[in-house]
Structure 1
Amino acid sequence: MKSAPVTLALGGFPVLCTRGEELQHRLHMHLRAGDQMAVFFANTNFVVRCQGLQPAMAEGCLIINDGVGVDIATWLVHRKRFPQNLNGSDFVPGFLRELGRDARVFLFGGKPGIAQRAAQALREDFAVPVVGTSDGYSQASDNEGLVERINASGATVLLVAMGNPLQEQWILQHRNQLEARLLIGVGALLDFLAGDKPRAPHWVRRLRLEWLYRLTLEPARLARRYTLDIAVFLALCLRRGKRVSEG
């Protein structure tokens, strides 16, 4: 009998307690078994913006911890820490490279041209087979046609980069029509891969200060997220405590 994955409740979401190698193995198993799984990375913005989506995420979803803010809240609520920080911008490219030719990837999201440049980077730098792309603007205006294009591409992995909560809503709304096995919300990953937005230097990421680096680059867009929304996030987590929302 398969044991249930170990999770910690945070802001009403069951967040998986795992390491990168274990998560890679779990996703491999879903691909090999032909099971569909949606994967979401829970940073502070996810927890605040995706409230109300918990019932739709109750089955067929893995929610992964992402960022120092989530670690702080988890310690306050549970007096425990996640075994490893698994932000999607680092985990997803490495996972796709490890999959190699077993992955057929479709990229969806970003401004016009972003997905195409991200696809080129994945092919050249990570040897990832990318079978199709769509921006998140004009090419995404016809959802039915987009789903047909994704399915026709033979994609087994779909990366959706629309930000929270739009990417989560889109995946949850359309997953029953999609044939891809792994549906992953990736936030700004395509912008990073395309070179449209720079990643923080490795030493900054090791210190877990990438949020501060991004704030200095985009203060107008991110100031609320890293000030007022952090307070909302912590209050929400403390109020929900160890409960997982069911509706």
Structure 2
Amino acid sequence: MTGPGAPPPTTPILGIPVHVLTLPDAVALAAEWLRRGEKTYLCHADARSILAARDDPAFRRALAGAGFVGADGMPLVWMERWRGLPGGRVYGPDFMQAMMAHGVTATERPLRHFLFGSTPQVLDRLTRRLADGHPGLLIAGSFSPPMGTWDEAADRAHRALINDARADIVWVSLGAPRQELWMARNRPHLQAPLLCGVGAAFDFLSGVKPQAPRWLRRIGLEWAFRLLSEPRRLAGRYARTLPRFMALALAEEMRRRRQGAGDQRRT
């Protein structure tokens, strides 16, 4: 970071700028924005999100408008490290837990959190689990929006609910790219300083879905654990995502290296 509240540098991954930061960096940056009352939204991207943003201009613009886009998946972290950059994984559930702890212990008053997304059952379990894990945590409100698309009247009703709760942080679990598009569209109308898109974090932290052991996540095999847990839902997704991402990433790195070699020869 270049100064308090300044976003870290980015590196393009398949043409999508991803911020180079670690989890502690991300927490420190979010905390500084909260302290200063700056309004922004935060995204966590994996290989599937990068591919989707590459194909969808609206999604790409939503990511470009974020305060930061953290590397949620290990393939993105590996690409940063191949380039000699000091990035790390900014995993949505870990970021959410760290910010919950920060809001209880490191601020003058408990931060007010709002949970937006998922199902009423998941929200109920998540609220209880978070309260057990972070004594003093203040969940100011939660809402499970209906399935399907929402018109402007529904958006207004959702915004009123969140603003009435006087939230400091709105946690958004709608899945990509829906949550990023929702944050970009509603950011000007929400009073909460931070909107944080965290994908499946509600399911994992509530215990509704099993989370891969930390050692599997660290070596980049979380996808295998999730595939074994939900083969019907994820087999097709991974078959479409992983080979394409790997092929495009390899081609991008080869181009970068050739360009770097050419620049060296010219100097």
> Would you say same fold, with TM above 0.5?
yes
Counterpart of 1:154 in 2: which secondary structure? coil
* 1:58 alignment partner AA: A
TM-score with structure 1 setting the length: 0.87
Whole-Å separation in 1 of the counterparts to 2:207 and 2:169: 22
Query: Closer, same or farther in 2 for the Cα pair 1:158/1:12, shift >3 Å?
Result: same
Q: Which residue of 1 aligns with 2:195?
A: 183
How many residue pairs align between the two structures? 241
Determine which structure has the larger helix proportion and give its number.
2
2:29 to 26, 30, 51: 26
- 1:86-97 aligned within 5 A: 86-97=90-101
Question: Which 5+ residue runs of structure 1 have no aligned equivalent?
Answer: none
Question: Which 5+ residue runs of structure 2 have no aligned equivalent?
Answer: 257-267
Counterpart of 1:54 in 2: which secondary structure? helix
CA drift at 1:71: 2.9
The answer on whether the counterparts of 1:104 and 1:129 sit within 8 Å (CA) in structure 2 is yes
The answer on whether the counterparts of 1:115 and 1:133 sit within 8 Å (CA) in structure 2 is yes
Whole-Å separation in 1 of the counterparts to 2:127 and 2:220: 27
Whole-Å separation in 1 of the counterparts to 2:96 and 2:116: 14
CA drift at 1:27: 0.8
Q: Which residue of 2 aligns with 1:69?
A: 75
Q: Which residue of 2 aligns with 1:85?
A: 89
The answer on whether the counterparts of 2:43 and 2:68 sit within 8 Å (CA) in structure 1 is yes
Whole-Å separation in 2 of the counterparts to 1:139 and 1:97: 33
Matched, 1:41 2:44: yes
Deviation track 1:43-62 (CA, whole Å, cap 9, x = no partner) reads: 11111223322334434521
TM-score with structure 2 setting the length: 0.81
**More displaced stretch, 27-36 vs 48-57:** 48-57
- 1:192-211 aligned within 5 A: 192-211=204-223
Whole-Å separation in 1 of the counterparts to 2:8 and 2:14: 18
The answer on whether the counterparts of 2:112 and 2:169 sit within 8 Å (CA) in structure 1 is yes
CA drift at 1:140: 8.9
* RMSD of equivalent CA atoms: 2.5
Percentage of identical aligned residues: 30
The answer on whether the counterparts of 1:50 and 1:164 sit within 8 Å (CA) in structure 2 is no
Q: Could you list the runs of 4 or more consecutive aligned residues of structure 1 that deviate by over 6 angstroms after TM superposition?
A: 239-243
Structure label with greater radius of gyration: 2
Query: Closer, same or farther in 2 for the Cα pair 1:195/1:201, shift >3 Å?
Result: same
- 1:227-246 aligned within 5 A: 227-237=239-249
The answer on whether the counterparts of 1:112 and 1:136 sit within 8 Å (CA) in structure 2 is no
- 1:87-126 aligned within 5 A: 87-100=91-104, 101-126=109-134
The answer on whether the counterparts of 1:140 and 1:146 sit within 8 Å (CA) in structure 2 is no
CA drift at 1:73: 4.1
* 2:159 alignment partner AA: V
Structure having greater relative contact order (Cα 8 Å, sep ≥ 6): 1
Counterpart of 1:158 in 2: which secondary structure? strand
Whole-Å separation in 2 of the counterparts to 1:7 and 1:129: 33
Whole-Å separation in 1 of the counterparts to 2:73 and 2:185: 26
